Structure 1
Amino acid sequence: MLQLENLSRRFGATAAVSGVSLSIPAGQMVGVIGRSGAGKSTLLRMVNRLTEPSEGRILHEGQEVTRLRGQALRDWRTRCGMIFQQFNLVPRLDVLTNVLVGRLNHHPGLLGTLGTLFKRFPAEERAMALMALDRFDLAGQAPQRADTLSGGQQQRVAIARAMMQQPRILLADEPIASLDPRNARTVMDALRDVNRRDGITVLCNLHHLETAREYCGRIVALQAGRVMFDGAPGELTAARLRDIYGVSEAEFDEQSTAPAAARSAGRQASPGRVAPLPA
């Protein structure tokens, strides 16, 4: 069970997230929706502790995540994998090595860094990475540079990398916002497979309500950092959506998607990103 208790985050006088309380049973797939600036990304980043809460608590199976420091916090981030809109792969490294980066917390310090630089990982971990890539139909791309892949392929590599952490929870922050419809479906199918086959809890920020309805068993709608709806997909009707946001479903999707490029540009230097290795 993942529990968020009165979770808030302020940036100066602005409340990005305000008093959010949620209980998420293990193995649930939750879609978090909201228009630009609703607080979706801040909420997920607080769960992973990439952004520190201003108030409130995060608990997972009785452990207070908000109190973790040092190695305990690094261990939490291993158990709570995160997938970003812009993939966060290292472009000049091959696909297999990018996936193996997911094992770095199992080899901390200089050993892990050298392993990445010189592509030296134990044989069993290389086998794990190849199996992860094969699961997402990418084994044939293992020796390619990551920047030669399509956006949908890169996002599936990012999912495979997260799976190498052996996570209990997977946070997907707008994973399909920069993808075309065909690749978006492939990535969402991969996330649903992880949820159903592995029993991993998935929290996924989404822009399109229909995608959330199709893939998620529960939808949480945010507005101005507050939870305005929390329930089954069928309960979030067009009338309920208009009551919350004052717009139709088509207008909601349009207004949520339009600023995606600006948000993406603003996140290039956000903390927690995997920085490319020097050329």
Structure 2
Amino acid sequence: MLELRGLTRRFGAVTAVNDVKLFIPDGQMVGVIGRSGAGKSTLLRMINRLTEPSAGQVIYGGRDITALRGAELRRWRTDCAMIFQQFNLVQRLDVLTNVLVGRLNHRPGLMGTVTSLLKMFTARERAMALAALDRFDLAEVALQRADTLSGGQQQRVAICRALLQEPRLMLADEPIASLDPRNAKTVMDALRQVNREDGITVLTNLHHLTTARQYCDRIVAMQAGRVMFDGTPAELTAARVQEIYGVTEDEFEDQAQEAVSPAARPGLRTQPGLAVA
């Protein structure tokens, strides 16, 4: 079980995440929704310890994750895989090598880094990577450079890389923000497949209510750093959305779209159709 106890993050005078308390059983798929600036990404980054909490604790399996340092922290980041909005692939490398990078934390110290950079992977690791790619219909592009793939393909490659970590928990930080509806669906299908078939707990940040309702067992709605709702998709009614955000569902969706449009966020590699914070 993942437990967040009063998790808080301040940036100067701004409180990005404010006293969040959550209990997430193993195997759930949880969608975290909210406008841009609601604290969703900061929340996930604190769980992975990419951002340090100002207060509170992250507890997993009875262990205080916020107290981990050094090798123990690296092991946690192996157990808790992270998928980013902009894929974080090495564009000049082939797809197979990008996936194999997921084995990096299973190799000790500097030697592990060197052997990974030199592509000195074992036959077992290569078989694992090819099996992951085949599972998500990517085996045929294994030897292509990552920058030749579509956004949806690149994000599925990132999911394959995360799976090679053999994680217990997967955090997806705005995984479909820069994707069109068709590619967004393939990515969300892949995340749900990982959750259902592998039993991996998935926490994913989303802006679209329809996507969260379709794919997630549970929805957490954030506003101004606080959790304003925590329940099933059916319980997040139109009236509840109006109460939390002061707008209708349609207005909420429109605001989300505007927040990530190319005009609103210059330089973002966005394809029209879906929006995420």
Relative to the length of structure 1, the TM-score reads: 0.93
Residue aligning to 1:146: 146
Residue aligning to 1:272: none
Partners in 2 of 1:104 and 1:19 — Cα distance? 34
Residue aligning to 2:273: none
Is the partner of 1:19 in helix, strand or coil? strand
How far did 1:265 drift? Answer: 5.6
Partners in 1 of 2:95 and 2:185 — Cα distance? 21
Partners in 2 of 1:183 and 1:153 — Cα distance? 8
Residue aligning to 1:5: 5
How far did 1:112 drift? Answer: 2.3
Write out aligned runs for 1:1-279 (5 A): 1-260=1-260
Q: Quick one: structure 1 residues 71 and 265, their matched pair in 2 at CA, closer, same or farther if it must change by over 3 Å? A: farther
How far did 1:248 drift? Answer: 1.1
Unaligned runs of 5+ in 2: 269-277
Q: 1:142-185 CA deviation, whole Å, 9 max, x = no partner?
A: 00000000000000000000000000000000000100000000
Relative to the length of structure 2, the TM-score reads: 0.94
CA RMSD, Structure 1 to Structure 2 (Å): 1.3
Q: Quick one: structure 1 residues 264 and 133, their matched pair in 2 at CA, closer, same or farther if it must change by over 3 Å? A: farther
Is the partner of 1:244 in helix, strand or coil? helix
**AA at the equivalent of 1:136:** F
Partners in 1 of 2:265 and 2:2 — Cα distance? 27
Partners in 2 of 1:207 and 1:40 — Cα distance? 10
**AA at the equivalent of 1:20:** V
CA contact (8 A) 1:32 1:40 kept: yes
Partners in 1 of 2:22 and 2:97 — Cα distance? 36
**AA at the equivalent of 2:97:** T
Partners in 1 of 2:103 and 2:115 — Cα distance? 10
Partners in 1 of 2:164 and 2:97 — Cα distance? 12
How far did 1:118 drift? Answer: 2.0
Partners in 2 of 1:142 and 1:170 — Cα distance? 23
Runs of 4+ in 1 over 4 A off after TM superposition: 261-266
CA contact (8 A) 1:86 1:264 kept: no
Deviates more, 1:115-124 or 1:199-208: 115-124
Q: 1:233-261 CA deviation, whole Å, 9 max, x = no partner?
A: 01111111001001111211221232225
**AA at the equivalent of 1:62:** G
How far did 1:263 drift? Answer: 6.3
**AA at the equivalent of 1:217:** D
Is the partner of 1:258 in helix, strand or coil? helix
Partners in 2 of 1:9 and 1:265 — Cα distance? 27
Q: Quick one: structure 1 residues 167 and 264, their matched pair in 2 at CA, closer, same or farther if it must change by over 3 Å? A: farther
Partners in 2 of 1:179 and 1:236 — Cα distance? 25
Number of aligned residue pairs: give it: 266
Residue aligning to 1:270: none
